[in-house]
Structure formats: C-alpha cells, structure tokens
C-alpha cells in the first residue's frame, strides 16, 4: 500500500478464555473510507478499541499516522476522532457550547476556538442553529453535530461506529452525503462500522471479520465479482414441492430458502432461466433476477446474514 495511515500487524487480543482477535493484519490507506463489517461477537469492537488506544493488545502492533499506539498514545489520540454509537452530547447545552467544551478538552488554542467551531459547523450545515440547545435537534442534526465535534481537532482518521443507527432512511442518506463531502473536501480517512450493508457500499474497501479473523478484504465491487454469477429469487404455489423438483431435476444452482422465497445462485441466469422455468411443474408466482450485493458477500463469507447476526 502506498501510504497507509493505519497499519495493523499480528494484532491479538485474548480475554480469559476467549481469543477475540487472532493475529490480524491489515492496512488502511490515507483518504479512503474503510468499512469494517462482521456479525456480533466477531471482534470488531475489540479491534477498534485497540486501534483507538482504549484497550491494550495482548500482542502485535498498530501504527496510526506514523505513531505507535503503545508508545505514542497522546499523538495517536490527537490523530483520531471517534463518533460513538450512543449520543454523547450534552442536551442541555447549545451546539456551540458542546463544541466549546470539546475544544477545551482537546486543548485547541483559545484564540482559534470560535473559528474552528464555525468551520466544522459549516461542514455539517449547522451554523444557523449553533445557539440552540441540542435537546431541540432532530436525530439527524445530533449525529451531524457529533461529527462536527469529532472534527474539531483536525483528526487524520475519523472512526464512525454505526453512524446512522436509529435514523430514518432519508436522514441516513442525507448523513452519507455529509460523510462523502468530508472525504472529498477534507481528505479525512474514515473507518466505518455499519450493520446496513447497502451503506457499506460507500466504502472504498471493506474488511469482513468473523470469529476473530479477517476473512475477506477488498473493494465492494471486487468482493461481489469474486462471488460472481446471478441471484434468482422465486416463490411458487408450493415451495416444498418446488424444492423437491429442484433437488431432482435442476443442476448448476446453489439453493437456499428464506421465509417464502427460494434463492438460487447460478453462474449465469441467461443460460439457466429458460430451461429452469420449463422444468419446474409447480407454478411460479414471483421471480426476480439480480446481481450479488454485499449482503450476499457477507452471507457467503460468514454463513450468516448480518441481520441475523444482530439478534
């Protein structure tokens, strides 16, 4: 990698009986959006907490912005911003006051504070409401304010843990626009976790973690191409009978069932579909052909859907 801003080598974390992170290696390039995905208990939080200096590794090394996480904790901390899942704003204070508190915490020079605050509020379009109390804000505005706060000390890397959780779809897509704007304008590296795999598509690269290991790492497109083929989804008048027929008469498809939908993964739907429709005696009530998504990639690599993993 030409210019890694994060470099993780043989990173391991063992809790008493659990090997939560098993000698993982990866790099994040400066300026990229890096998606970090995995089912519950995969080891994502443990990894992120070690990268952000909040948890001591059992072994291995991490450097951020050229600083060693063990030796240069303060410099690492100054290089990163973290947006947590929970709202950590003081609701009784105004947006401006919340940011001022953070400036003090991060020792932003006094004469620079107001200017910085305005700058970050502009990025997330909250200048107009800077004197309003946070308790009057919508969920999306609060998230944006948290992002602004995370940017106050000019971090090189911003960690976003489930940044859109709990927001409605429109606000979610709006928030992604801000995040993309940030990447473009400020060149900030973003390390992102999300359970919404359609949102992870925004990443330049994603890593999929499972049981303490990184089991896949590449661009969303490359991962989907690796999976290859087409996905066919169908419902029939009697899915049990359809499955028996598929088992007896159809070859060249990986079959799975979810609720009242039968999924067939085939190499090429063009070659497959016309003979398939003729072969099946039970009437088909619904048929859909699509390309693999990150959800399919996740399922193929972990054997689970990310939605199931959340339970």
We find the least distance from the C-beta atom of residue 211 to ligand ATP, in angstroms, to be 8
**Residue 196 in contact with residue 206, Cβ under 8 Å?**
no
- C-alpha dihedral (13, 191, 113, 97), degrees to nearest 10: -80
Stretch that binds ligand ATP, among 37-45, 82-90, 110-118, 251-259 (CB under 6 A): 37-45
Stretch that binds ligand ATP, among 38-46, 99-107, 122-130, 271-279 (CB under 6 A): 38-46
Q: In what order do the strands lie in the sheet with 33-37?
A: 80-83, 157-161, 189-193, 33-37, 205-210, 213-218
Candidates 7, 12, 23, 41; binder of ligand ATP (CB under 6 A) is: 41
Stretch that binds ligand ATP, among 35-43, 75-83, 106-114, 216-224 (CB under 6 A): 35-43
Residue 110, token pair as written in the block: 């006094």
* Residue 165 makes contact with ligand ATP by CB under 6 A: no
Q: Between 44 and 205, whose beta carbon lies closer to ligand ATP?
A: 44
Alpha carbons 210 and 11: distance in angstroms, whole number: 15
* Residue 35 makes contact with ligand ATP by CB under 6 A: no
H helix count then E strand count, the chain: 12, 14
**Residue 265 in contact with residue 253, Cβ under 8 Å?**
yes
- Per the DSSP assignment, residues forming a β-bridge with 72 are none
Q: Given the DSSP bridges, would you call strands 189-193 and 157-161 parallel, antiparallel or unpaired? A: parallel
Q: Between 39 and 155, whose beta carbon lies closer to ligand ATP?
A: 39
We find the least distance from the C-beta atom of residue 11 to ligand ATP, in angstroms, to be 12
Q: Between 43 and 140, whose beta carbon lies closer to ligand ATP?
A: 43
Footprint of ligand ATP on 45-64 (CB under 6 A): 45-46
Q: Between 40 and 285, whose beta carbon lies closer to ligand ATP?
A: 40
Alpha carbons 185 and 124: distance in angstroms, whole number: 12
Candidates 6, 44, 60, 148; binder of ligand ATP (CB under 6 A) is: 44
How deeply is 246 buried, as exposed, middle or buried, from its count of CB atoms within 10 A (0-12, 13-18, 19+)?
Answer: buried
Q: Between 22 and 174, whose beta carbon lies closer to ligand ATP?
A: 22
Alpha carbons 176 and 264: distance in angstroms, whole number: 32
Alpha carbons 85 and 114: distance in angstroms, whole number: 27
Q: Between 52 and 234, whose beta carbon lies closer to ligand ATP?
A: 52
Stretch that binds ligand ATP, among 34-42, 252-260, 277-285, 300-308 (CB under 6 A): 34-42
Alpha carbons 289 and 194: distance in angstroms, whole number: 26
* Residue 42 makes contact with ligand ATP by CB under 6 A: yes
Neighbours of 238 (CB within 10 A): 12
Q: Between 29 and 162, whose beta carbon lies closer to ligand ATP?
A: 162
We find the least distance from the C-beta atom of residue 233 to ligand ATP, in angstroms, to be 27
Candidates 4, 35, 43, 220; binder of ligand ATP (CB under 6 A) is: 43
- Per the DSSP assignment, residues forming a β-bridge with 209 are 214
Please give the helix or strand (H or E) that residue 102 lies within, else none.
helix 95-105
Q: Between 193 and 239, whose beta carbon lies closer to ligand ATP?
A: 193
Candidates 1, 10, 25, 40; binder of ligand ATP (CB under 6 A) is: 40
Give the per-residue contact string, 4-23, with ligand ATP (x = CB under 6 A; - = no): -----------x--x-x---
Interacting residues with ligand ATP (CB under 6 A): 15, 18, 20, 38, 40-46
């Amino acid at each position: 990698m030409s210019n890694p801003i994060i470099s993780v080598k043989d990173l391991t974390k063992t809790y008493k009986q659990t090997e939560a992170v098993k000698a993982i290696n990866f790099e994040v390039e400066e300026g990229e959006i890096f998606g970090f995905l995995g089912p519950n208990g995969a080891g994502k939080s443990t990894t992120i907490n070690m990268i952000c200096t909040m948890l001591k590794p059992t072994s291995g090394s991490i450097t951020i912005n050229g600083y060693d996480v063990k030796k240069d904790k303060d410099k690492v901390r100054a290089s990163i911003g973290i947006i947590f899942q929970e709202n950590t704003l003081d609701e009784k204070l105004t947006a401006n006051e919340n940011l001022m508190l953070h400036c003090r915490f991060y020792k932003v020079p006094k004469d620079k504070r107001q200017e910085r605050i305005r700058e970050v509020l502009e990025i997330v379009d909250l200048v107009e409401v800077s004197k309003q109390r946070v308790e009057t804000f919508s969920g999306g505005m609060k998230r944006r304010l948290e992002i602004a706060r995370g940017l106050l000390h000019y971090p090189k890397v911003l960690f976003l843990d489930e940044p859109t959780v709990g927001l409605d779809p429109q606000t979610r897509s709006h928030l992604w626009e801000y995040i993309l704007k940030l990447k473009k304008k400020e060149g900030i590296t973003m390390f992102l976790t999300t359970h919404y795999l359609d949102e992870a598509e925004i990443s330049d690269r994603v890593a999929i973690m499972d049981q303490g290991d990184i089991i896949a790492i590449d661009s969303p497109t490359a991962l989907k191409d690796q999976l290859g083929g087409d996905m066919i989804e169908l419902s029939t008048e009697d899915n049990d009978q359809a499955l028996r027929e598929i088992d007896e008469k159809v070859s060249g498809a990986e079959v799975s069932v979810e609720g009242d939908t039968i999924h067939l993964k085939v190499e090429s739907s063009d070659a497959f579909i016309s003979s398939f429709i003729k072969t099946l005696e039970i009437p088909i009530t619904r048929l859909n052909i699509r390309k693999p998504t990150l959800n399919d990639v996740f399922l193929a690599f972990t054997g689970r859907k990310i939605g199931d993993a959340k339970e």
